[in-house]
Amino acid sequence: MTTPSHPAHRVRRSYEELVAEADAVSVDGWDFSRLDGRPTEQRPSWSYQRLMAERLAITRRSKPRARSSPPPPATWSRPAKAAA
């Protein structure tokens, strides 16, 4: 979300200008102060991990376990070994 005080909100810069700005900035260390005032976004209200856990719990309750039913009958046989 762009904040009104950020320059990008006022003026649209070209790709070349953005690349030149990024190229001029040092990327050594953990100094992220150059990003102050940049647009930010909030985390989503949903959690992928929570949603998948809920979905798996529902699936496990609604489907019988594979081990509860006997295996299907064999529909093929092994070829006989050739005599040497």
Q: Where are the alpha helices (DSSP H) in 1-84?
A: 7-10, 15-24, 48-62
On whether the pTM is more than 0.95, the answer is no
**pLDDT classification of 28: cutoffs 50, 70, 90:** confident
CA angle 14, 19, 17 (to 5 degrees): 35
Q: Is 81 within 8 Å of 41 (Cβ atoms)?
A: no
**pLDDT classification of 53: cutoffs 50, 70, 90:** very high
Place of tokens 């909100």: 9
pLDDT number for residue 46: 87
**pLDDT classification of 22: cutoffs 50, 70, 90:** confident
